[in-house]
Structure 1
């Protein structure tokens, strides 16, 4: 049986942890009940980052979010990176571990981006093999996050929601629903995000992400949204989030803010807004 961590994530707001917020979180977390950290920031041998994380883990459930495994990459997974991830999860025993449905490596080069995949049978087999390997090495279930996309592939043979469901059914992994990614992809590719959510396998979702996006324009003048994580959650994304929890039930919900990071009270207020949506959906969460 795959381990799911020592503490389950509560169906309550969490935030992506930033070291400048350590004192504020410890003094007044507000509605925040759990924290997410990026795995690659905590693979060192010691120092202040690990000391702070150990202190936070005594008070909050922790979710570890990976950005470097390149689950969709054509090459083999980096076993040294996977070993470092195993060591981190071994001592931290997080409540959740997640990664992206994306690729970021080619011929031994790390591209520092999360790039989309064509949804084909070959891609499905490769992604499932990689997830099986991750879960076997870690001895725990992984959550797979839906991507933000800016183009579609002509060779795709299945829709994203079908692909995600098939991956989860084949591997036993869970899903991480990033609602902002749904909205960004919908605007960029011209589909209905509400209809996408109605077809999403919400029963497999262990965690929800909310974040901000940047607005731009493509060469032909059509709107182009960038998953930038540098602004408050947009109103249309809040509306989609309300639909998701009304449709599928409340889930642990993360506020992501990775660029132009605000002071702690601003981020805490975003978490408070998520708490209000959860409360209206029937969760026992108070802001």
Structure 2
């Protein structure tokens, strides 16, 4: 278990955006309220070229959060040692203010899946995920943040709530948490739960980062709302409201706007960051 002397408070309590290369010049010239950026680790695991050169330039001005999507923390098999070694090399080089991954699995044997799939919340799963988190933190020599998933179904075998599962993981591993507010809204809608009740039960003292993003709206076979975590649209008003509710519990935190598909012009993403900045400005620090 990693020493709980945490690195998860290193990002500024301000608005950030998921970085996309088409915004490189705009970020340099007109960042607006943005003081930190997130990059997906797997896009920067090469040995050189424009991506690493741009990231090095951005790191001189912005705090960097590295967000992994390929470790498969919840996968049944062992973590890929080559992938973990490349991740360590990246973190040793860029020295990010934060590193995070998903509470999900995306591998089966030697196959890598394009989706981040949910897990049953049982003591057995908890022990398995905790062992993987400890391995990642030991190899990287830094604390990681774990992100709550967006859920489309619930497992009958689950004996723990998601919030209790996450709280126990932080206790046994010393990891921090990345609270994705959009994912909470999606899961609550899809599973007919209360998003505010989820936030009330969440271990907010372990939160190092908050995310908001857009989602697609559909309907299931019975006509009930079905939300899909797409990161391809503006953040909807109910998610902004849930962010306000969350910040009232957590106090100021780094807030990231995610937009990964159908990426808009910088002016659109900058406007979303400005709204996140206003949400932060409207709250008082938690005593």
Tell me the CA shift for residue 52 of structure 1: 0.2
Partner of 1:148: 150
Q: Does residue 71 of structure 2 align to residue 35 of structure 1?
A: no
Unmatched 5+ stretches in structure 2: none
TM-score w.r.t. length of structure 2? 0.96
> What are the within-5 Å matches in structure 2 for residues 1-287 of structure 1?
1=3, 8-282=10-284
Tell me the CA shift for residue 60 of structure 1: 0.5
Contact 1:73 1:106 in 2 (8 A): yes
Unmatched 5+ stretches in structure 1: none
Contact 2:91 2:140 in 1 (8 A): yes
Q: How many correspondences in the alignment?
A: 283
SS at match of 1:62: strand
Tell me the CA shift for residue 8 of structure 1: 2.0
Between the aligned partners of 2:10 and 2:16, the Cα distance in structure 1 is: 13
Task: Summarize the Cα distance change of 1:155–1:5 in structure 2 as closer, same or farther, 3 Å threshold.
Answer: closer
Between the aligned partners of 1:3 and 1:22, the Cα distance in structure 2 is: 34
Between the aligned partners of 2:7 and 2:126, the Cα distance in structure 1 is: 27
Between the aligned partners of 1:3 and 1:268, the Cα distance in structure 2 is: 34
Tell me the CA shift for residue 185 of structure 1: 0.2
SS at match of 1:69: coil
Between the aligned partners of 2:42 and 2:158, the Cα distance in structure 1 is: 31
TM-score w.r.t. length of structure 1? 0.96
Tell me the CA shift for residue 108 of structure 1: 1.1
Tell me the CA shift for residue 5 of structure 1: 6.4
Tell me the CA shift for residue 3 of structure 1: 8.3
Alpha carbon RMSD of aligned pairs, Å? Answer: 1.4
